[in-house]
Amino acid sequence: MVVPRLAPLARTATRLHPRPGSPSPHDSSVGGPLLWPADEPWPHCDGPHEWDRVNRPLSPEDVRRQRTDQVAAAGRPWPDGPVPLLPVAQLYVRDVPLPRPPGQAEADLLQVLWCPFDHPAQPETALFWRSAAAVTEVLATPPEPPVVQFPGYLPEPCLLAPEQVTEYPDLLELGEELRRELADWKRWPAAGAPVDSGERHPLLEEWNRWRASGAAVDSSEVPYSKDFYTEFYRARLSLAPGWKVGGWTRWGLTDPVPRICRECGTEAVPLLTIASGEWDSGTHDWIPHEDRARTAPSTTDPQPWNPTMLDLAGGYDLQLYVCPTSPDHPHIELIQ
Cα separation of 216 and 250, whole Å? Answer: 36
CB-facing half-sphere around the CA of 112: CA atoms within 13 A: 25
CA dist list (Å): 280 to 31, 190, 303, 327, 328: 22, 30, 11, 34, 36
Instruction: Quote the pLDDT of residue 222.
Output: 41
Instruction: Quote the pLDDT of residue 298.
Output: 80
Instruction: Quote the pLDDT of residue 191.
Output: 58
Cα separation of 91 and 316, whole Å? Answer: 22
DSSP code of residue 312: B
Cα separation of 272 and 96, whole Å? Answer: 11
Burial 212-241 (b: 16+ CB within 10 A, else e): eeeeeeeeeebeeeeebbbbbbbbbbbbbb
Select from 89, 108, 87 the least CA-distant residue to 245.
Answer: 89
Cα separation of 66 and 58, whole Å? Answer: 10
Amino acid at 192: G
CB atoms near residue 131 (< 10 Å): 12
Complete edge-to-edge strand list for the sheet that includes strand 158-159? 19-20, 158-159, 29-30, 86-92, 109-118, 123-130
Amino acid at 195: V
Per-residue pLDDT of the chain (336 residues; tens, 9 = 90+): 778 899 999 999 999 999 999 999 999 999 999 999 999 999 999 988 877 767 777 899 999 988 876 545 556 667 888 999 999 999 999 999 998 999 999 999 999 999 999 998 889 999 999 999 999 999 999 999 999 999 999 999 999 999 999 999 999 999 999 998 888 877 776 655 544 444 444 545 555 565 566 544 343 344 445 567 788 888 888 999 999 999 999 999 999 999 999 999 999 999 999 999 999 988 888 999 999 888 888 877 888 999 999 999 999 999 999 999 999 999 999 999
Q: Is the dihedral of CA 198, 199, 205, 207 positive or negative?
A: negative
Complete edge-to-edge strand list for the sheet that includes strand 244-246? 163-167, 11-15, 244-246, 269-274, 318-322, 332-335
Instruction: Quote the pLDDT of residue 202.
Output: 52
Amino acid at 131: S
Burial 92-101 (b: 16+ CB within 10 A, else e): bbebbebeeb
